[in-house]
Amino acid sequence: MLKSLTHSKLLMKLRESISRSVDLASKPFKYLLQIYINSLVKGFEIYVIGSGISTGIERYLSTSSKILLATSITTFTITLVMASRALPLFISLTVSAVASLVIAPSLSLAILIYLPMAMYRNRGEVLESKAITLLSALVLLTASGQSIYRVLEALPVVLGGAYKVFSVELDLASSLMKVGVPVSEALKRVAHITPSNILRDLFLSLSSIISIGGNVAPVVQSLVERYVTRYGIRVERSVEELNIVTEVYVALTMLIPMIVNSTAAFLLIYPIAGLSFDAILVLTIPILIPIASVAIVTIADMIVSRVRP
């Protein structure tokens, strides 16, 4: 028993020591990342929290700096092993150092900065298409006259599996209220970080109506009507985009055989060494046409996913 306790304490101390060492080694990368973010992107914390990638900017910087450290070490090791086979040791070390301290961190920094922004935009589109679920639940709950705090507590049960789509905003609002932040101020903060326009309008409207002490239910109902109007416009735009994609696909299916036949006729009249009609068929029918079809289907699915409730 004593031995097991001793081993567990040693493992705990070792883990803490490794954690401190990693934190210390990653501090320069954290500082570098912070400089890049402050100089290139304003309000980066909004992207980090609103995208759901992390709960705060400090946590994201800490995790990202460790990723940068691991990337640099891995790049240095791989580059050194590969370069030492063909180059002298000094040159191999120099090349590895440049790759691990300049090239790898630069690429990783670009990815780590762009990733939250891309996820923020993507999550905004998802929230816009799913917002009717939240609005419907709010209409149901506010009609019974419950307070916003009670409504937020009941939403996980009412929404069920759909709650995770809105969990970033709703969990943030609940946590702020639990630590004593006024309801109106908590909703304003949530509206500040959400990537969805309709949810931003929702939280700002709720914040305003709570501040003046009005009835919440009519506000939510008006937002539902506004959302339905916006949703109809988005569906119309998506239908137009799908029509364009369909026309492009039809044009491709008509043009590819014509191009193949024209090329075949040209090769019969003017043969080209190394290029035969059979080779063209192999490149077009089993390769080009399936790739074009997959690309069109993927684009169509992306268009539909924007408005899929």
- Measured CA to CA, the distance from residue 281 to residue 288 in angstroms comes to 10
pLDDT at residue 277, as a whole number: 67
Question: Is the dihedral angle over the CA atoms 59, 160, 221, 122 positive or is it negative?
Answer: positive
In this structure, what is the dihedral angle of CA atoms 250, 251, 256, 257, given to the nearest 10 degrees? 70
pLDDT in tens, the chain (309 residues): 445 546 666 667 767 777 777 777 777 777 878 887 777 777 888 998 998 888 888 888 888 888 888 888 888 888 888 888 777 888 888 888 888 888 877 888 888 888 888 889 888 888 888 888 888 888 888 877 777 778 888 888 888 888 888 989 989 988 888 888 888 899 999 999 999 888 998 899 888 888 887 777 788 888 888 887 877 777 788 888 888 888 888 887 777 777 777 777 777 777 766 666 666 666 666 667 777 778 878 887 777 776 666
143 Cβ neighbours under 8 A, 6+ residues apart: 217
Beta bridge partners of 275: 272
- Measured CA to CA, the distance from residue 232 to residue 129 in angstroms comes to 11
pLDDT at residue 129, as a whole number: 81
Q: Which amino acid is at 6?
A: T
Strand, coil or helix: what is 52? coil
Among candidate residues 195, 189, 226, 191, the one with its CA nearest the CA of residue 205: 191
Give long-range contacts, CB 8 A cutoff, 24+ apart: 241-245: 241/303, 242/300, 242/303, 242/304, 245/296, 245/299, 245/300, 245/303
45, 56 contact by CB (below 8 A): yes
pTM confidence score:
0.73
pLDDT at residue 192, as a whole number: 92
- Measured CA to CA, the distance from residue 143 to residue 224 in angstroms comes to 13
Instruction: Give the length of the chain.
Output: 309
pLDDT at residue 154, as a whole number: 86
Beta bridge partners of 272: 275
Token readout for 2 is 């004593």
For 145, other C-beta atoms within 10 Å of its C-beta total: 10
Tokens 């935009």 belong to 121
